Amino acid sequence: MAQRAADDPPDQVELDELESALLASVRDLSARAALEPDPDRPLAPGSSLTGARLGELFDAQLQSRHLDHAARWLRGQGLGFYTIGSAGHEANALVAAALRPTDPALLHYRSGGFYLGRATQVPGHDGVRDVLLGLLASADEPIAGGRHKVFGHHALAVIPQTSTIASHLPRALGVAFAIGRAGRLGLATAWPEDGLAVCSFGDASLNHSTAQGAINAAGYSAHQGLRLPLLFVCEDNGWGISVPSPTGWVEASLAGRAGLRYERAEGTDPVAVHDTVEDLADWIRTTGRPAVLHLRTVRFGGHAGTDVEAAYRGAAGIRADRQRDPMLATATVLVEHGLAAPAELVERYLAGRRRTRQLATELMAEPKLTSADEVIVPLAPRHPIAVAEQATVAAEADVRAARFGRLPEDEGHLTLAESINRALADLLAADQRVLLFGEDVGAKGGVYGVTRGLQRKAGAGRVFDTLLDEQSILGLALGTAVSGLVPIPEIQYLAYLHNAEDQLRGEAASLAFFSNGQYRNPMVVRVAGYGYQKGFGGHFHNDNAVAVLRDIPGLVVASPARAADAAPMLRTCVAAAVADGTISVFLEPIALYHTRDLHLSGDEGWTAPYVGPEGWGSAHIPIGEPAVAREGEDVLVVSWANGLYMSLRVAERLAAEGISCRVLDLRWLAPLPVDVIANHARALGGVVVVDETRHSGGVGEAILAGLVEAGYHGPVTRIAARDSFVPLGDAANFVLVAESDIESAVRAAVTAR
- What confidence tens digit (pLDDT) does each residue in 344-361 have? 999 999 999 999 999 999
Give yes or no for residue 168 having a pLDDT over 80: yes
> Is 50 exceeded by the pLDDT of residue 34?
no
d(CA 103, CA 88): 24
Q: Checking DSSP bridges between strand 486-491 and strand 434-438, what pairing results, if any? A: parallel
- pTM exceeds 0.75 for this model: yes
Chain mean position to CA 99: 24
| Structure confidence at residue 10 (pLDDT) | 44
- Predicted confidence at residue 5, as pLDDT, reads 40
CA distance to 89, 306, 648, 728, 731, per residue, from 326 (Å): 7, 24, 70, 60, 64
- Please, which residues bridge with residue 376 across strands? none
Task: Assess whether pLDDT exceeds 50 at residue 735.
Answer: yes
pLDDT tens, position by position, 415-464: 999 999 999 999 999 999 999 999 999 999 999 999 999 999 999 999 99
Just list the catalytic residues.
Answer: 541
State the Cα–Cα distance between residues 414 and 418, nearest whole angstrom. Answer: 6
Indicate the SS3 state at residue 229.
coil
Q: What is the dihedral sign for C-alpha 445, 451, 455, 457?
A: positive
pLDDT at 296: 97
Euclidean distance between CA atoms 105 and 190, whole angstroms:
12
Q: For 259-325, list the strands marked E by DSSP.
A: 261-266, 291-296
Please check whether residue 23 is in contact with residue 67, taking contact to mean a CB–CB distance below 8 angstroms.
no
Res. 11: pLDDT tops 70: no
pLDDT bracket for residue 706 (50, 70, 90) = very high
Q: Is the pLDDT of residue 7 over 60?
A: no
Percent of the residues in the chain that have a pLDDT greater than 90, as a whole number: 90
**Cβ pair 594, 704 in contact under 8 A:** no
Residue 232 three-state SS: strand
Position 535 scores a pLDDT of 72
pLDDT over 80 (residue 362): yes
What three-state secondary structure class fits 54?
helix
* pLDDT band with cut points at 50, 70 and 90 for residue 540: confident
pLDDT at 542 (0 to 100): 86
At 361, which amino acid appears?
T
The distance of Cα 688 from the centroid of its chain, to the nearest Å, equals: 37
How far, in Å, CA of 188 to CA of 301, rounded?
44
The model's pLDDT over 489-521, given as tens digits with 9 standing for 90+, comes to: 999 999 999 989 999 999 999 999 999 999 999
User: Confidence class of residue 729 from pLDDT cuts 50, 70 and 90?
Assistant: confident
373 pLDDT band (50/70/90 cuts)?
Answer: very high
Number of H helices, E strands in the chain: 28, 22
Q: pLDDT tens, 48-107?
A: 999 999 999 999 999 999 999 999 999 998 999 889 999 999 999 999 999 999 999 999
What SS3 string covers 374-424?
HHHCCCCCCCHHHHHHHCCCCCCHHHHHHHHCCCHHHCCEECHHHHHHHHH
Please tell me the predicted confidence (pLDDT) of residue 727. 87
Cβ atoms of 424 and 570 closer than 8 Å: yes
Band the pLDDT of 33: cuts 50, 70, 90. Answer: low
Which range, of 13-17, 22-26, 404-408, 626-630, averages the lowest pLDDT? 13-17
Per-residue pLDDT band for 32 (boundaries 50, 70, 90) equals: low
Question: 10 Å Cβ neighbour count for 232?
Answer: 27
Q: Do 391 and 582 touch, CB atoms closer than 8 A?
A: no
Distance CA 215, CA 382 (A): 36
Report percent pLDDT > 70 for the chain.
97
Tell me the Ramachandran region of residue 592: left when phi exceeds 0, alpha when psi lies from -120 to 50, beta otherwise: alpha
pLDDT recorded at residue 3:
40
Q: Which of 61, 60, 73, 66 is nearest to 136 (CA)?
A: 73
**pLDDT number for residue 306:** 86
Asked whether the beta carbons of 25 and 346 are under 8 A apart, the reply is no
Average predicted confidence (pLDDT) for the chain: 94
Q: Are 447 and 538 in contact (CB under 8 A)?
A: no
**Mean pLDDT value across residues 663-668:** 98
**Contact partners, residue 487, CB within 8 Å, separation at least 6:** 434, 435, 436, 437, 476, 477, 480, 481, 523, 524
Residue 328 φ/ψ, nearest 5 degrees = -65, -40
